[in-house]
Structures are given as C-alpha cells and as structure tokens.
Homo-oligomer: A and B are copies of this chain.
C-alpha cells in the first residue's frame, strides 16, 4: 500500500495550490472557438495549451474522457500524453470517465485508470454506480492500494438525473449502511462511501452537483466531493459555501467552460483559472 492515502495527497495539494479543479474539455465548439480543427491534432493542441496554462497554478485538472474518446485511439494517445505530462509536473489528474461495470470487467476499468505503469494511469477516476456501489469494489481496492481516489456519481445537477437518484430504497433490504427508512439512491451512495472511508484514507469521493436542494445528508461524509457546476452552470462560490456547509474540507469545485472560454490565449486562461481559484479560496475560507 502506498505510504500516502488519497486524502493526505489531496490535503497537501489543496494547501499548496487551492481546491479548484479545472476541466480539460476539448468540446467541438471550443475547438472551433480556439481556431483548431475538430481532429485528434486539434485536441492535442487544445490539451497542450491547457497544460501550459493550468499546470503549477491549480492543484487538480479533470480531462473529460469523452472528448478524447470521440477520436478513438488517436484521441486516447493525446489523453495519455496529457495525463502523464500533468502528473509529471505534480498536478493531480482526475479522469472524468464515469466508468461502471461488474466483476472482472470493472477490474479491467480500474486497471486502465488506476493501475501502475499503464498508459492512462491517473490519480483518480469518476465512476457510475448503476450496477451497485458494491460492483465498484475492484476500483476501491486498487485505489486504496495505490493511494488514489474514486469519485462516485451520487447526485448530479442535471434535471434528468433527479428521478432516478431520488428513488427510494426498500428499507427492509438495506444491509446496515443505512438504518433509516426511505433512503434515496443518492443517499445510499453517500452512506456506502462513509462506510468505506472508515479506514481513514478518503479513497471514495462523491460527485455532487453544486445545486441547491440536492437533498443529501452529508454530515457524516468527510471525504472528497467533486462539485461540478461552478460558473457556466450557474453556481457561485457563495452557493458552494452554503450547499456544502457540512462537508467542506475536501470539497473540490470544478469549473470548465467558464475558464476555457478565455482561450486560446495561455495567459488569459491562466488568469481566469487563478481568478476562480482565488475566489474559491476566499469564499470557502
């Protein structure tokens, strides 16, 4: 097992460079706005600009895997180079992949993103729990062993997600992690993460949209929370302070479009990232 837990690594990174996580999202409309072709080559230039702008200035970056996968193996080759350059510079990488499967297939996804000496090796990966929190076990194990992290989708900010994530678990079937009656799907993910993190390593983080009324009880959860929605999606830093008042130590606000729209100028991107980073630090102090 790695000397340092994911939680310790995060605390140290936050102390050095703040808690903002900036997205690397080579969206087709951003490629066009930056004057880049919608090809793997365009994605590569986009990613190189992001690396130059953000590495060293923020603690974490989050490449959105879909925008690389759209170009197949050529896009993945760009993603591999991006991840390894960022990590070599000491900035943490959260691969936003939202993977989720069962058994040996989940083990293969875990190996892909959290293995040692693999081309896509990242510091953390986002995962999706439709097949059950328990199905994510191979990823939890590998992350724990290597001092890396997971971010499990819990409550997302998109309107289409509310119905499923608010569905109520059958209280009679609950296996001890949630004693209460009428626990929602999203709350059951929070509760399972609380139970998993009792080892003190904070391996299991959550994805919780920075929107009011998420309806979650986060009072027992002290692990990492990746909170998309800052800026372009409408949440302010004051909203974050209010929404996550119970669980702020490892809160990682994420912004993507609101910073990326300042490209392709490296200096404009860096200034935008620093401005949001400092706003977050001041607002959540």
Contact = CB atoms under 8 A, between A and B. Distances in A.
Interface in A109-165: 109, 111-112, 115, 118-120, 128-135, 153, 156, 158-165
Interface residues of A, number: 63
Interface string A63-85: 01011011111101101100000
Interface stretch (A11-19, A166-174, A247-255): A166-174
Nearest to A121: B72
Interface stretch (A93-101, A263-271, A277-285): A93-101
A25 B103 CA distance: 13
Interface string A206-222: 00000000000000000
A188 B132 CA distance: 17
A25 B135 CA distance: 18
B132 A164 contact: yes
A112 B70 contact: yes
B167 A170 contact: yes
Interface in A162-211: 162-170, 173-175, 184-185, 188
A167 B118 CA distance: 37
Contact of A163 (B109, B115, B173): B173
Given A108-B27, A129-B164, A80 B70 contact: no
B98 A101 contact: yes
Contacts of A8: none
Contacts of A49: none
Contacts of A29: 104
A247 to B, nearest CB: 21
A101 B66 contact: yes
B112 A69 contact: yes
A67 B130 contact: no
16 contacts: A66-B99, A69-B108, A72-B76, A72-B77, A72-B119, A73-B73, A73-B80, A98-B99, A98-B100, A100-B128, A102-B156, A102-B161, A129-B130, A131-B158, A163-B174, A185-B185
Interface of A: 25, 27-29, 64, 66-67, 69-74, 76-77, 79-80, 98-106, 108-109, 111-112, 115, 118-120, 128-135, 153, 156, 158-170, 173-175, 184-185, 188
Minimum-distance CB pairs A-B, first 9: A72-B119, A132-B160, A134-B160, A73-B76, A66-B108, A167-B167, A73-B77, A132-B161, A130-B130
